Amino acid sequence: MTARTGRRRGLFRTGGLVAAGLAALLTVAACGGGSSDPLATTSAAASGGASASGSAGGGKIVIGSANFPESALLANIYAAALTKAGVEASTNLNIGSREVYIKAIEDGSISLVPEYTGVLLQYFDQQATAVSSDDVYAALQKALPSTLVVLDKSAAEDKDAVVVTKATAEANNLTSIADLAPVASTFVLGGPSEWETRPTGVPGLKEKYGLTFKEFKALDAGGPLTLNALTSDQVQAGNMFTTDPAIPKNDLVVLEDPKNLFAAQNVLPLIRSDANNPQVTEVLNAVSAKLDTATLTELLTKVQDEKQDSAQVAQEWVAANLGS
């Protein structure tokens, strides 16, 4: 995910998410604008009955998420699993981009966040060259600071992708990102604002594929703004995530990535070392053992297409898959 950069994944809102003003406070705190913890209070509803307060220490787990539906869904799954196991857990959802929530986990505002191996590796090591699932995971473990640890990776994978409409693909003979070379100068590229500077965004497309677009339009992280811009031809290429049910529903085309701009993007938990313990590891590794790409896509379809509550979908999946 920038891949899934970050993967890989939206302006989705669900019960217990952080209000817009709170997100603004977090941004200030992440930039050194104060010592108060803007994530100190949370809602139990989003975690399916978890404690409504807590911080990264004291045995309490505060689970954050990026600002797109899949990340919020995964955070709710982690919260439901931990709560079921008797761990005091709460959620703060839709914090923002990786550049914001990594600061939050580093300063202890949150304890845990769902992540994607490839883009997380590139965040901590912009010179990383690993591509395969196992190689990316091994390199990631070495690249992390000692204060953070990743637990087992799941088989579930969600990558960033460059997506075009079927009409655009057919009119320009596009099957891969490389095919954009003759037309990129006439195309507007859409994606989250951070894509303008991320190695897997505009800079990577230029370095790996030699692409210089007519314009970059800052939208959202593979959410409704990007989808609407693509389908209305406001942008001719956009960043979406490969598990997004909107892709087949709108007959969009995911361009192949022959030069591996987007490395393996396996879903896994990133957690503060001081918040981890054997019980937390066991619970979250059990979640990862059950998650695959098909399952994640199915759950995300329930949330995005069927408009089911993310926390409820998470609770039901945990109840059905993680024993009594």
Give yes or no for a contact between 119 and 6, defined as CB atoms under 8 angstroms apart: yes
Residue 263 lies in a domain: no
By residue count, the chain amounts to: 324
Q: Letter for the amino acid at 189?
A: L
Are residues 80 and 148 located together in one domain of the fold?
A: yes
Parallel, antiparallel or unpaired: strands 188-191 and 89-96: unpaired
d(CA 242, CA 234): 21
- Give every CB contact of residue 164 below 8 A, 6+ residues apart in sequence: 174, 230, 236, 237, 238, 252, 253, 255
Single out the residue in 254, 280, 298 at which a domain terminates. 254
In a domain, 13, yes or no: no
Does 151 lie in the same domain as 167? Answer: no
277 in the same domain as 217: no
CA distance 269 to 305: 25
Residue where a domain stops, chosen among 206, 223, 254: 254
The answer as to whether 259 is a domain residue is: no
Tell me the CA end-to-end span of the chain in Å, nearest whole number: 33
Is 260 inside a domain boundary? no
| Residues linked to residue 237 through DSSP beta bridges, in sequence order | 189
Do residues 131 and 26 share a domain?
yes
Answer yes or no: are the C-beta atoms of 21 and 232 closer than 8 Å.
no
Computed over its alpha carbons, how large is the radius of gyration of the chain?
A: 19
pLDDT given for residue 181 in this prediction:
98
Q: Are residues 172 and 234 in the same domain?
A: yes
166: domain CATH number? 3.40.190.120
Range of the domain at 228: 160-254
H or E element, residue 311? helix 310-321
3-state secondary structure 14-37: CCCECCHHHHHHHHHHHCCCCCCC
- Whether residues 164 and 152 fall in one domain: no
| Residue 12 in domain | no
Q: 3-state class of 202 per DSSP?
A: helix
CA-CA distance, 253 to 236, in Å (whole number)? 12
Rounded Cα–Cα distance for residues 171 and 253 (Å): 13
By three-state DSSP, how is residue 197 classified?
coil
Low-confidence ranges of the chain (pLDDT < 50): 1-58
Q: What is the pLDDT of residues 76-121, one digit of tens each?
A: 999 999 999 999 999 999 999 999 999 999 999 999 999 999 999 9
Cα separation of 34 and 240, whole Å?
Answer: 34
Does residue 121 sit in the same domain as residue 30?
A: yes
The CA distance from 32 to 105, in Å, is 14
Whether 65 and 151 map to the same domain: the answer is yes
Asked if residue 30 is part of any domain, the answer here is: yes
- Are both 181 and 111 inside the same structural domain? no
In this structure, are 150 and 279 located in the same domain? yes
Q: Which two tokens stand for residue 247?
A: 């892709």
| Helix/strand number for the chain, H first, E second | 12, 10
The answer as to whether 262 is a domain residue is: no
Buried b (16+ CB within 10 A) or exposed e, 50-61: bbeebbbeeebb
Which CATH number goes with the domain that contains 152? 3.40.190.10
DSSP assignment of 151-218 equals -PPPS-B--EEEEEEHHHHHHHT-SBGGGGTTTGGGPEEEE-GGGGTSTTSHHHHHHHH----SEEEE
Tell me the C-alpha distance between 189 and 62, whole Å.
35
**Pair 110, 42: CB distance under 8 Å:** no
Number of domains in the chain: 2
Same domain, 110 and 174: no
150 with 246, same domain: the answer is no
Q: What 3-state class would DSSP assign to 52?
A: coil
Tell me the two tokens of residue 320.
């059905």
Task: Give the relative orientation of helices 69-84 and 278-290 as an angle to the nearest 10 degrees.
Answer: 130
Q: Is residue 3 part of a domain?
A: no
**How far apart are the C-alpha atoms of 194 and 173, rounded to whole Å?**
29
